[in-house]
Structure 1
Amino acid sequence: MREQAAKLRSSLNRRRFVQATGAAVLTAASWQRVLGANERIGIGLIGYGLIGQSHLADFKRQPDVDMVAVAEAHRARLEAAATAIGGNVARYGDFRKMLEDKNVDAVVISTPDHWHALQTMLACAAGKDVYVEKPLTVFVREGRWMVEVAKRYNRVVQAGTQQRSGP
C-alpha cells in the first residue's frame, strides 16, 4: 500500500495536481499532445441537465479552461448549452462524435447514471481525461472495468462527490 502511494505521489507534479483537483479542473495531458504551463485545456461537456449547467458555470470561471464542445441528445438542451457557452462551441447530438474532436482534451460527464461507466471508458479510450458525476457505476464490475481502462490508456478520472447526503 505504501509503495503504491509513493508511486502515485511521485507521478504527480504540481500542474497535474491542480488540474485534477482544483474546482474539478481536469488534467490536460492528452495522448496526442502535452500542454505547456501557459496553454489552455479544451473541455467537452457531456450532458446539460441541472448538474451539467452547474459544471458549466464552474468551468467558465476557470482561467485556463476553454469550453470547446458540448454533447447532448436533447436538441433544446444542446442549443441552450451552446448559447450558455457562447462563441464557436462544437455541438454534438452523439457524445461519441465529440470524443473524436481533437480540440477536446478532457470531458465532464453529467448524464443519467446508467451512462457514466460507458462514457468514462469510451472517453479514456479516446485519450480524454474525465470528470464524472456520481454514482460512477450501477454495478461493481463496471467500476473495475473503468479502473482497467483508465490505467490502460493512462488517463486521469475524477469522480464528483459533492453533496453526497441530504440537507
Structure 2
Amino acid sequence: MKTKLTESPLEMSTFNEVQIHYERPIFNTNRVVKCSEDSERILREFLDNKRIDYKEFFWVLLLTNANQVLGISEIGIGSSTGVAVNVKEIYQLALLSNASAIVVAHNHPSGKLMPSTADKNLTQKLKEAFKLLDITLLDHLILTSEGFVSFSDSGWM
C-alpha cells in the first residue's frame, strides 16, 4: 500500500513577516556634529571614562543628513590590546536608524594616539562598504583618557 504525502514541507511551515520599526527622535532636540571636537564631546558623555584605560571599546555615532545625532551604540568590547568589530552590526544599526552618516570611534588603553595598520584598514573597509549604502563615514576617532585624534582631521581618510 502506497501512502501519498498530501502536504509539502512549505505548506507545513509557518513564516514570520520581517518588519522594521523606526521612530525618529524629536528633530529639534538632536545634538549636531559639526567637527571632530563635537563627536569627541558627545562620545565622552556616553562612554564610561573609568574603563577607557582598561580595555578597548568600539562605538558608532549614527547621524542624519544634517549631522544630527540619532543615537550612539557600543559595538564591541575587547581586551587591553584590541577589539573585534562586527561590521554587519554597524550596517544594521545604520539602516534601522535611517542614518545618512556615521562616525566611528575606539579607544587605545595604551594612551597612544597613533592608529595601527588594522585601524587604518578597518576605516577604509567601512568607508568603501558604506558607499554602497549611500551612507557617509565622516570620521574615525581614537580616544585616550588624555585626548583624541581624528582620522578626518589628520588626512588618514
- Give the TM-score normalised by the residue count of structure 1: 0.31
TM-score, normalization by structure 2: 0.33
- Say which structure is richer in strand: 2
Structure whose alpha-carbon radius of gyration is higher? 2
Instruction: Please identify which structure carries the higher helix content.
Output: 1
